[in-house]
Structure 1
Amino acid sequence: MAKILLVLTGADHWTLADGTEHPTGFWAEEAAAPYEAFTTAGHEVVVATPGGVVPTVDRGSLAPDVNGGQEGAARVAATLDSFSALREPIALEDVDLDAYAAVFYPGGHGPMEDLAVSAASGRLLASALKSGKPLGVVCHGPAALLAADGPDGTNAFSGYRLTGFTNAEERQAGLADRAKWLLQDRLVEIGAEFQEGEPWAPFVIVDRNLVTGQNPASSAPLAAELLKKLT
């Protein structure tokens, strides 16, 4: 059995361009689906957040219409209820990468608020990438990659093929025009080779030890790819 680190946002809002605080947090499916996959495979999951704060789930991500109906919503909610580590996170700043076999970053809009500017998270991501350990990042989780700049200003993920929540999906979700910045644009700016699939459809990119997923529907396929790298 291996230990897998899930790094979640500690933010409960996303500050929009006009200063409005949009309620958010982590996206339920993006934590629940990997947790289910990892624990079913016999692995232990540890949660870390900035400052060790208990993470907030985006209430919108628990709705039936984003979970394939009431049955799907109930399943996700039940999985989160059984995920006791969510209620006892460790501080991201205290993480010892050597203790974990893999690292996974779920999304939600929360990472746009805190992980995108977290130096501790940026160092962890750069170290995980360099270590060769499986590193999974999904949806808005890649916002955290923006903080992985080296001393010379070059981002650790420059030149990597990856994906994340696209401009098209942000527009369809209705927040693109209100955002300070869009994730796809910023990932291109750091030198990543951004690739995108159809909006809302599962899409996963594997480049060396980095595995990225475009949207919530990509969470389970991404977790499966990560598990392949652990065998």
Structure 2
Amino acid sequence: MTKLLFAVTAADHWTLNDGTEHPTGFWAEELVESHRTFVDAGWDVVVATPGGRAPVVDEGSLAVDANGGDEVKVADQKKYLASIESILQNPASLEDQRASDFDAIFVPGGHGPMEDLAVSTSFGALVTDFLSTGKIVSAVCHAPAALLPATTSDGGWVFDGYQLTGFTDEEETQAGLAAKAPWLLESRLKELGARFESSDPWSPHVVVDRTLYTGQNPASTKPLADRVVQALS
């Protein structure tokens, strides 16, 4: 059975450039659509967070307006989150996980990973282990921020030169937080050497380079998860 490490942020806020804390967490669609896809594929999915702390949903991600006005979609997300509540309330600790125990790692987004995973040296080391052993590393929307601390023994970034995608600076601007952001994901990834690719704002877009699988935004979640399942079928 394929075993997947489902790495979720435990942050409940994102510290803005003026020091204020913007409430956040994981983005509902990104967790729901990916987790459901992997479970439906029959995989063993291990949910883990920094310190084994229960993750929280970004309440904004459950707003009808944030889901294209689709009330049915929001109701489905809430129903699915309720169905896995016991799993989310009792996650494993990311610090205890080893790449050798899994076939792939997936990180759903939301602004939460910008706060904790993006600066976690232990998580960076874990991601590096996945990559160096030829296993799939996958992240969607803001979650490619979790790739930032993955470095080589000489301090270089392990994804330097990789093609990838993530939440764009344009999308962050349209979402209204770019001016308040301490840093922007697309810009930071490019600064480190990523060959960043994007499509139109809010449209599904998936990029695969070797064993790195990334999605641009919430709408990219299901297509991305499907690509990961296809790769390991």
User: Which of the five TM-score ranges fits, normalised by the shorter chain?
Assistant: over 0.9
Deviation of the 1:150 alpha carbon: 2.1
1:156 is matched with which residue?
158
Q: Quick check: 1:124 aligned with 2:159?
A: no
User: For the residues of structure 1 that align with 2:188 and 2:38, how far apart are their CA atoms?
Assistant: 30
Deviation of the 1:215 alpha carbon: 0.3
Quick check: 138-147 or 126-135, which moved more?
126-135
User: For the residues of structure 1 that align with 2:165 and 2:192, how far apart are their CA atoms?
Assistant: 13
The count of aligned residue pairs is: 231
Instruction: State the TM-score, normalized to the length of structure 1.
Output: 0.97
Identity %: 55
Quick check: 44-53 or 63-72, which moved more?
63-72
- Deviating beyond 6 angstroms after TM superposition, the runs of 4 or more aligned structure 1 residues are none
Deviation of the 1:85 alpha carbon: 2.2
User: 1:213–1:222: 8 Å Cα contact kept in structure 2?
Assistant: yes
Q: Which amino acid aligns with 1:54?
A: A
Quick check: 198-207 or 1-10, which moved more?
1-10
Q: Quick check: 1:102 aligned with 2:137?
A: no
Instruction: State the TM-score, normalized to the length of structure 2.
Output: 0.97
Q: Which amino acid aligns with 1:29?
A: E
Quick check: 129-138 or 187-196, which moved more?
129-138
Quick check: 179-188 or 61-70, which moved more?
61-70
Q: Which amino acid aligns with 2:47?
A: V
1:93 is matched with which residue?
95
User: For the residues of structure 1 that align with 2:116 and 2:82, how far apart are their CA atoms?
Assistant: 24
Matches within 5 A, 1:13-52: 13-52=13-52
Quick check: 58-67 or 115-124, which moved more?
58-67
- Secondary structure, in 3 states, of the residue corresponding to 2:148? helix
Q: Quick check: 1:77 aligned with 2:78?
A: yes
User: For the residues of structure 2 that align with 1:180 and 1:96, how far apart are their CA atoms?
Assistant: 31
Q: Which amino acid aligns with 1:6?
A: F
Instruction: Kindly provide the CA deviation profile for residues 170-211 of structure 1, in whole angstroms up to 9, marking residues without a partner as x.
Output: 000000001111000110111111111110000000001111
User: For the residues of structure 2 that align with 1:130 and 1:77, how far apart are their CA atoms?
Assistant: 37
Quick check: 9-18 or 79-88, which moved more?
79-88
User: 1:45–1:85: 8 Å Cα contact kept in structure 2?
Assistant: no
* CA-based RMSD: 1.0
